[in-house]
Amino acid sequence: MLRVDPRQRHRLAEIIANLGDRITEARASGWHGEVQGLQVSLDAARAKMASMTRTDQARASGHADLGIPTIRQTR
């Protein structure tokens, strides 16, 4: 997955707002397939924004989330 330049957060917010407007228009016009496609794009854009927020918070805290280690059983 590509990383978005943090300085472009405002553009991503504009894209999210635009997708919402386009979904409203597509629903009003009865374009059900278009609504579904736009919803997928909106969900992805929101997920990207959430990812950017988590990355910003991690940078601000100075800690890296390495996840939870798992123990492998040897044979």
The span from the CA of 31 to the CA of 12, in Å, is 24
The span from the CA of 20 to the CA of 32, in Å, is 14
Domain residue extents for the chain:
7-59
The span from the CA of 52 to the CA of 21, in Å, is 23
The tally of CA atoms less than 13 A away on the side-chain side of residue 20 is 8
Put simply, whether the predicted model's pTM sits higher than 0.75 gets the answer no
Cβ contact 19:38 at 8 Å? yes
Selection from 54, 55, 26 nearest residue 40 by Cα:
26
Which tens digit of pLDDT belongs to each residue from 17-64? Answer: 999 999 999 999 999 999 999 999 999 999 999 988 888 777 777 776
